[in-house]
Amino acid sequence: MRIDLRCVPCNMQAMLRIMDENSIEREEQITVMSGFLRKMAKMDLDSETPIDIGRNVGESLELVFKGSDPFREIKKASNKALLEIYDQLKQRLLRLPDPLKAAIKLSVAGNIIDFAPGHRIDIDRTLEQALSQQFALDDLDLLVSRIRSTPDMLIIGDNCGEAVLDKLLMEIAAVPETYFAVRSKPALNDITMKEALEIGLDEVATLVDSGAEAPGAQEKSMSEELTRVYSEANIVISKGQGNLEGLSSAEREVFFLLMAKCEVIASFLGVKKGSFVAYRKA
C-alpha cells in the first residue's frame, strides 16, 4: 500500500497526542517533531508505505521515551479486561451453531470494545455486536472452510486486548500447528513478546518475533524465523490496519481481518469507514 498524503498529518497528530498524554515539555516536543520532519524529508513518498512513516514516528519518540513503553499500562489494562471474561466468552461461543466463525468475528470486533479504566465489559452486548456486524468484504466462509482442513496457520497479530480474542480464536480453531507473530519492539498498543507471554498465547501457538519495529509487518523486514513460517504456512491471517498497510502487496495469499478505522484504509479497500473486513488477497 502506497503512502496517502493524509497519513503524514495524521501521524504528526498522533505524535503530539502521545507526547501530550505523557506530559512531555514543549521544548522536547519541538526536538521530537523536528527530528521527525527531517526523516520525512528524506522519504520517497511515492515508493514507501505508511508503515515507514510509523517507523519514523517510533524512532523520533525514542528521544523522549528512551526505551520505555508509553502504552504499557494501556496494553496491560486491555488484556486484563478480556482475560477476566475469557472463559465466559469461550463457553458462549461453544454453544453457538458455528463457534469458529463466531470466534473470527469476535476477534475482528476487538476494535470496538471499550477498554476505558473502570469499564466493565458487557459479555452479552459484546457478543451481540460482534455477531451482528455485517462485513463489507466477506470471505469469512472461505476462511472458516480453510481453517477446518489446514494442518497449519499463521496469525500476524496487531493490538493488545484484541490479541486475547485471537487466543480464543486459536483455541477454538485447534489447528494442529499454529503460529502467532508479534512486534519486535513496542509500537503504539501493538502486542510484543512480553504481552504475548503474559496472556498465555504460547499455550495455543508457537510465538514468532516478526522483525517489525513499527506498527505493521512487511515482507522486506520480516525476521528469518517469520520469513520461513510465512512462506510455508497454508493459511496466513493478517490482523488490523497496520499489517494491511505493510502486506497489501504481499507475494502470497493472505486473509486480512480488520475494521477500516480511517478514510485512507476505507478508500483503499473500497468500503465505508467503520466497516468490518474479511478479505482474501490471492
Phi, psi of 238 (to 5 degrees): -105, 125
Q: Which of 41, 65, 89 is the last residue of a domain?
A: 65
Query: If DSSP codes are grouped into helix, strand and coil, which group holds residue 66?
Result: coil
Q: What CATH code is carried by the domain that includes residue 265? A: 3.40.50.10880
Q: How far is CA 128 from CA 26, 58, 121, 134, in A?
A: 45, 36, 12, 12
Does 233 lie in the same domain as 119? yes
268 and 158 share one domain: yes
Percentage of the chain surpassing pLDDT 70? 97
pLDDT in tens, 112-159: 765 555 556 777 877 888 888 899 999 999 999 999 999 999 999 999
Of 31, 65, 99, the last residue of a domain is: 65
Nearest to 242 by CA among 208, 206, 191: 191
Strands 276-281 and 254-259: antiparallel
pLDDT tens for 43-85 read 999 888 899 999 999 999 999 999 899 999 999 999 998 999 9
CA angle 103-106-108, nearest 5°?
115
- Same domain flag for 213 and 110: yes
Instruction: Convert the pLDDT of each residue in 210-220 to its tens digit.
Output: 999 999 999 99
Structural domain tally of the chain?
2
Rounded mean pLDDT, 31-52: 93
Cβ neighbour number for residue 27 with a 10 Å cutoff: 8
Is residue 224 within 8 Å of 204, Cβ to Cβ? no
pLDDT of residue 118: 53
Residue type, 194: K
Residues 17-25 have a mean pLDDT of: 94
Residue 64, Cα to own-chain centre: how many angstroms? 25
Mean pLDDT of 98-122: 79
197 and 103, same domain (yes or no): yes
SS3 content of the chain, % helix, strand, coil (to 5): 55, 15, 35
Residues 22 and 153 in one domain: no
Q: Specify the amino acid at residue 81.
A: A
| Terminal Cα distance for the chain, rounded | 15
Grid cell listed for 214: 513499527
Q: Are residues 111 and 248 in the same domain?
A: yes
Range of the domain at 156: 72-281
**Amino acid of residue 196:** A
- Mean pLDDT (whole number) for 2-21: 93
Q: Are residues 179 and 256 in the same domain?
A: yes
Confirm whether pTM is higher than 0.85: yes
Rounded to the nearest integer, the mean pLDDT of the chain is 93
Judgement on whether residues 257 and 150 belong to the same structural domain of the protein: yes
Tell me if 266 is assigned to some domain: yes
Are residues 267 and 154 located together in one domain of the fold?
yes
Whether residues 47 and 186 share a domain: the answer is: no
Rounded to whole angstroms, how far apart are CA atoms 102 and 109? 10
